[in-house]
């Protein structure tokens, strides 16, 4: 499903960008979180500086703006999602992948553990929050199909960065795109338990925080 498209080590190997004292802006796909650990550590330990790079990690105002910021030259490099890359190309956005930050799918469909959604079939007639348009609709459709439902059986709601907050507040009944290594932990810190459905090969499984 979702794969991050930047690699801290690869930043030092980009042709034309690694000259001495080069400034390099990296637009993140989300606010700083554990997925960015390799880049944060490289920055704090001076690894970028050793390669003659002055790297700035910039959280976006909107998680969907990353590819267009890179394509327009407002950022040198962006952390992005691999499935969305195909959609961006189809839309005429001129960007390319040069490395992988996280190679294992992290995204899930998340619900409250004590809520009414116990299985994917329980999503019928419910609201699902998302942050980045495009690929999420395809993922949700595939998950629904596995339980005999369709896209018409649910309502997608753009909640921007507020995946966890929208779920905890009851604004939506589920979220798509929440990461199993972040949002579940975020919910646990808030004293709530989440249940996440993620795809493994051809089956969907659930996990709790």
- DSSP one-letter code for 43: H
18 within domain boundaries: yes
Task: For residues 82 and 111, state if they share a domain.
Answer: no
pLDDT for res 199:
59
Q: CATH number of the domain at 22, please.
A: 3.40.190.10
What is the rounded distance in angstroms from the CA atom of residue 74 to the CA atom of residue 21? 19
Task: For residues 82 and 155, state if they share a domain.
Answer: no
- CB neighbours of residue 74 within 10 Å: 13
Structure tokens at 152: 């018409």
Task: For residues 113 and 179, state if they share a domain.
Answer: yes
User: Mean pLDDT across the chain, nearest whole number?
Assistant: 83
Conformation bin of residue 27: beta by default, left when phi > 0, alpha when psi is -120 to 50: beta
97 within domain boundaries: no
100 within domain boundaries: no
pTM of the model: 0.63
What is the rounded distance in angstroms from the CA atom of residue 84 to the CA atom of residue 169? 28
pLDDT for res 103:
79
50 within domain boundaries: yes
Percent pLDDT > 90 in the chain is: 47
């Amino acid at each position: 499903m979702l794969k991050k498209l930047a690699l801290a080590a690869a930043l030092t190997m980009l042709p034309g960008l690694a000259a001495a004292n080069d400034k390099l802006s990296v637009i993140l796909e989300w606010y700083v979180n554990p997925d960015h650990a390799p880049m944060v550590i490289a920055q704090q330990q001076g690894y970028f500086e050793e390669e003659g790079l002055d790297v700035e990690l910039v959280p976006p105002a909107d998680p969907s703006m990353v590819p267009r910021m890179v394509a327009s030259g407002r950022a040198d490099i962006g952390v992005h999602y691999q499935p969305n890359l195909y959609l961006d190309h189809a839309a005429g956005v001129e960007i390319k992948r040069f490395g992988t930050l996280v190679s294992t799918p992290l995204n899930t469909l998340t619900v409250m553990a004590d809520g009414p959604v116990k299985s994917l079939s329980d999503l019928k007639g419910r609201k699902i929050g998302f942050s980045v348009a495009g690929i999420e609709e395809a993922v949700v459709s595939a998950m629904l199909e596995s339980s005999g439902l369709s896209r018409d059986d649910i309502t997608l709601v753009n909640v921007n960065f507020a995946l966890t907050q929208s779920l905890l507040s009851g604004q939506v009944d589920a979220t798509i795109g929440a990461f199993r290594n972040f949002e579940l932990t975020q919910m646990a810190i808030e004293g709530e338990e989440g249940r996440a459905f993620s795809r493994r090969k051809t089956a969907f499984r659930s996990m709790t925080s």
